[in-house]
Amino acid sequence: MPGKGRPFRKGQVTNPNGRPKKGTSLTELMRRFLERKTQLKDKSGNVPDLTNKELFIQTCLLHAIGGDPAFSNQIWKYVEGEPTQKVEQMVAQVSASAGSFNTKQAAEFRKSFRDFMLRNA
């Protein structure tokens, strides 16, 4: 008999096959497809000796070279990384007793924020 608060005896296996396998994810299917040799024919009817990944990269580069800004931007992000942006943080001091801005503090904050926006426009 199992102990109090224990529904099974020690050593009793209730799921001998383990957790069921998950279905294959879309990402995994895409990775498998990209690693395969391409079956697509070029204009002359030949199948290039390329993986689908290499063909995909060539296609993206051709679009970028052709002037498509979406492809150009995406390729630039992959090659160089996202550009960093300087973030200036402004902290207004709040009176602990009041718990909110007083009129003078609010006016100073608005002025400093407006100046900041004008400098960085």
Domain borders along the chain are 26-80, 86-121
When pLDDT is averaged across residues 20-24 and rounded to a whole number, the result is 80
Give the tens place of pLDDT for each residue, 40-71: 888 888 888 999 999 888 888 999 999 999 98
Report pLDDT for 100: 59
Q: How confident is the model at residue 87 (pLDDT cuts 50, 70, 90)?
A: confident
Which of these, 55, 50, 19, lies nearest to 37 by C-alpha position?
Answer: 50
CB-based contacts of 36, cutoff 8 Å, min separation 6: 51, 52
Helix (H, G, I), strand (E, B) or coil at 51: strand
